[in-house]
Amino acid sequence: MPTEIVHHLSPEEQELAKKRQELTILQAELADRELFLANQRAELAAFEGRYLREVGVLYAELDDWNAKIAELTAEADGTEGAKSAAAEARAQAEESYAAAHGEAAKAAEFSPSPELKKLFREVVRQIHPDNATDDADRAVRNRLMAEANLAYRRGDVDALRSILEEYKSSPESVRGEGVGADLVRVLRQIDQIIKRLAQIDSEVAELASSEIALLMAKVESAAAKGRNLLAEMKKDILHRIDLARNEFEDQFSKMRSK
């Protein structure tokens, strides 16, 4: 009967195996949370884009009419108070215009495909900077992760694929040797991921309490009750624009007739 050779793991090796298991679980959780955060950001950006395009532009138009009225009043009154009120109203109008027509207003609708989500999770699992083993590796991962975030936002499946390819072929993905070194590296990765998870939580909380998120929550809960809040807001502002325009025209014709 042949003697069975049993390889007994050293305590260090046992610890490494345990920690590697722990790391795998944490990496999966990190991928989920990063995906969630990316989705939250993208959804909010998309909502903000829609809000600015539909409602924001109307606020800008309203402010423009109000500035015109204030300017007309300043012209008629000639007082310092009226002049500064006009300047302030104009500044407000410009601010609103810039906000309503800025970069944020260009955000397109966001509806990620299952394939896109899967790819992004894979990218996070493999490339996340918090899996980095050293500073050089981290630098590469940071760059690729930033690119991946943009690609996800764009819904660019091909870009995500090529990011994965690029990382696989980079020398940083090759691991070092030696149990002791490996254990140190794994422990450091675990530590980084736990920190990042906490950071994601606070980022999600921060996003959720942003003005745009609160507005979106309001719009969504109204939609569940069959109310279209954005449409109501549009109607309300449009009506205020009508009133402001009429008022401007009244004032204008009164000034002309003098």
Partner 1 sequence: MNAGEEKHAALVPVQSTGLTRVGPKSLAARGRADLRTQEEAEEWLRKGLELREQGRYEEAFGYFERGIQLKPNHPEIQFMLGLSFSGGEGAPRDNAMARAWYRKAAEQGLKEAQYNLGLLYYGWDDGPGLRQNYEEAADWFRKAAEQGYERAQGRLDLLLGEGMVVAHDDVETHRAADHGNKDAQRVLGSRYRDGQGVPQDYAQATSWYRKAALQEDLSAQINLAQMYSQGLVPRSLYCHFDFSEANCEEAQATLGLDEDVYLRHGCKEAAAYWYSRAAQQGSDTAKSALAELQPLLTLERAKRTIEMSGAHFNFGPDVDARKKYYAAVQEAVRALTDAGYRVKSAGWGYELEDIQ
Map the footprint of partner 1 across residues 227-256, applying CB under 8 A: 229, 232-233, 236, 239-240, 243-244, 246-247
Residues 10-49 that bind partner 1 (CB under 8 A): 48
Asked whether position 82 contacts partner 1 by CB under 8 A, the answer is no
Q: How many whole angstroms separate alpha carbon 66 and alpha carbon 247?
A: 9
Interface residue with partner 1, options 218, 221, 231, 252 (CB under 8 A): 218
Nearest to 53 by CA among 111, 107, 90: 107
User: Where do we find the tokens 């009226």?
Assistant: 82
Rounded Cα distance between 44 and 40, Å, is: 6
The pair of three-digit structure tokens given for residue 154, joined into one six-digit string: 């764009």
Gap between the Cα atoms of 97 and 41, Å rounded? 24
Residue with Cβ nearer partner 1 (41 or 188): 41
Judged by CB under 8 A, which of 76, 150, 214, 223 binds partner 1? 214
Out of 12, 95, 115, 191, the residue judged to bind partner 1 by CB under 8 A: 95
Residues near 58 by Cβ (< 8 Å), separated by ≥ 6?
234, 237, 238, 241
* Sites of contact with partner 1 (CB under 8 A): 48, 51-52, 55-56, 59, 63, 66, 69-70, 88-89, 92, 95-96, 99-100, 210-212, 214-215, 218, 229, 232-233, 236, 239-240, 243-244, 246-247
